[in-house]
């Protein structure tokens, strides 16, 4: 089930915003915060569909999201990610590719 108003359920809602807008190795810590988030997919779709350039969103860094956007520039990421969820496919980033 897709959560329309996902922000209140986000694992990062209690975190300091600066924790999610970091560079280098610190991004791995930010991604760990996303790992168990119940609305990770919705968050990632929001960032991809709105081409948000900064921060870790849905467990992906800016670089990972840019790679996805280059591969599928006209995609509705909500539709892609929602379909993957319904099929029970894991959504992960690996070397800039979306694996669903």
H or E stretch at 42: helix 40-49
Q: How many domains does the chain have?
A: 1
pTM of the complete model: 0.84
pLDDT at residue 33 greater than cutoff 50: yes
Establish if 74 belongs to a structural domain. yes
> Is residue 2 in a domain?
no
What tens digit of pLDDT does each residue of 41-53 get? Answer: 999 999 999 999 9
1-5, 44-48, 52-56, 60-64: least confidently modelled range: 1-5
Concatenate the DSSP letters of all residues of 51-93 into one string.
Answer: T--SS-BTTB-HHHHHHHHHHSTT--HHHHHHHHHHTT---EE
Rounded Cα distance, 70 and 84, in Å: 19
Place of tokens 């870790």: 56
34 has binding-site annotation: yes
Question: Is 12 among the annotated ligand-binding positions?
Answer: yes
Q: Say what the pLDDT of residue 96 is.
A: 44
Residue 53: domain span: 10-95
> Is 3 contained in some domain?
no
- Judged against a pLDDT cut of 80, whether residue 100 lies above it is answered with no
Q: What is the mean pLDDT of the chain?
A: 87
DSSP H or E stretch at residue 97: strand 97-99
The answer to whether residue 1 scores a pLDDT higher than 90 is no
């Amino acid at each position: 089930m897709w959560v329309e108003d996902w922000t209140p359920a986000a694992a990062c809602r209690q975190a300091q915003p600066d924790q999610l807008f970091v560079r280098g190795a610190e991004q791995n810590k930010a991604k760990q915060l996303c790992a168990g988030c119940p609305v990770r997919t919705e968050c990632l779709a929001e960032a991809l569909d709105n081409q948000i350039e900064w921060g870790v969103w849905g467990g992906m860094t800016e670089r990972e999201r840019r790679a996805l956007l280059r591969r599928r520039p006209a995609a509705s990421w909500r539709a892609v990610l929602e379909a993957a969820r319904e099929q029970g496919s894991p959504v992960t980033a690996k070397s800039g590719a979306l694996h669903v």
